[in-house]
C-alpha cells in the first residue's frame, strides 16, 4: 500500500541519499577493483529497494520483475563505457557499472513506488523545493500516470485481439513484425497523449487560467 505517514519529505530524502550514494560509489573505471564498501553500499541499495517494494504491497517476485525491467536501460549506458575501458578491465567495468546503475535505479524505483505520485509531490514540497518546481513536478507525474493507464489499456486491448498470449511471444519468431507492432502502439500513444494535452489546455482556458 502507498505510504500513509506524514513524513513524505524524510522518506524521499532517505531514498535520494541511498540512490545518490550508490550512483557515486567508485566502480573501477581505471581498471582497479572497486572497494569492498562500494559493494556493501550497492547491496544496501538493493535491500532498500526490496524493502520499499514490500512496504508498497508488492511481493518479492513482482519487485524483482520490476527491477529486471530496468536492466535494458542500464545496459544502454553501462556497456558503451565498458567498451572504452582498458582491454583487460572491460568485463569488470561492465559488471561494476551495471551493478552500480541498477542498484541506484532500483532504490529510486522502490521509493517512488512506495510514495506514489502524490507522496513524491508532498515530499518535494516538505523538502522546501520552489513552488514552481513542485507544480511542474505534479503536472508531470499526473500526465505520466495518465499515459501509463493508456498504455495498460492499449496492451490489454492488444492481448484481447491476439490468438496467443504474451506481448513478447513472437519476438523470436517474427522480430520485425513485433517491432512494427510496438511502433504502431507508440505512435497511437503519442497521438492520444497530444489529444489529451490539447483537451487539458482547453479546459484550463475555459476556467480562466493563464496558458
Q: Is the pLDDT of residue 177 over 70?
A: no
Query: Rounded to 5 degrees, what are φ and ψ at 86?
Result: -55, 150
How much is the average pLDDT of 186-194?
A: 75
Residues of the chain with pLDDT > 90, as a percent, come to 9
Cα distance between residue 164 and residue 167, in whole Å: 9
Residues of the chain with pLDDT > 70, as a percent, come to 79
Least confident of 19-33, 59-73, 173-187: 173-187
Q: Which pTM does this prediction carry?
A: 0.72
Per-residue pLDDT, 89: 59
Cα distance between residue 42 and residue 105, in whole Å: 11
Cα distance between residue 93 and residue 91, in whole Å: 5
Domain ranges of the chain: 8-129, 133-206
DSSP 3-state of 10: helix
Per-residue pLDDT, 178: 66
How much is the average pLDDT of 99-121?
A: 88
Encode pLDDT of 11-27 as tens digits: 899 999 999 998 888 87
Amino acid at each position: 500500500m502507498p505510504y500513509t505517514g506524514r513524513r513524505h519529505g524524510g522518506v524521499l530524502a532517505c531514498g535520494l541519499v541511498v540512490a545518490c550514494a550508490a550512483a557515486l560509489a567508485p566502480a573501477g573505471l581505471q581498471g582497479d577493483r572497486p572497494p569492498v564498501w562500494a559493494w556493501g553500499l550497492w547491496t544496501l541499495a538493493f535491500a532498500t529497494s526490496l524493502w520499499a517494494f514490500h512496504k508498497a504491497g508488492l511481493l518479492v517476485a513482482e519487485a524483482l520483475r520490476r527491477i529486471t525491467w530496468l536492466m535494458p536501460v542500464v545496459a544502454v549506458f553501462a556497456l558503451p563505457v565498458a567498451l572504452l575501458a582498458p582491454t583487460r578491465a572491460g568485463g569488470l567495468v561492465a559488471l561494476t557499472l551495471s551493478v552500480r546503475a541498477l542498484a541506484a535505479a532500483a532504490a529510486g524505483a522502490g521509493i517512488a513506488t512506495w510514495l506514489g505520485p502524490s507522496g513524491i509531490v508532498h515530499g518535494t514540497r516538505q523538502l522546501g523545493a520552489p513552488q514552481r518546481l513542485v507544480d511542474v513536478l505534479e503536472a508531470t507525474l499526473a500526465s505520466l500516470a495518465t499515459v501509463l493507464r493508456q498504455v495498460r489499456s492499449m496492451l490489454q486491448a492488444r492481448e484481447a485481439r491476439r490468438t496467443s498470449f504474451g506481448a513478447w511471444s513472437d519476438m523470436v519468431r517474427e522480430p520485425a513484425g513485433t517491432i512494427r507492432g510496438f511502433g504502431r502502439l507508440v505512435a497511437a500513444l503519442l497521438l492520444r497523449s497530444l489529444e489529451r494535452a490539447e483537451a487539458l489546455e482547453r479546459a484550463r482556458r475555459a476556467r480562466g487560467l493563464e496558458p
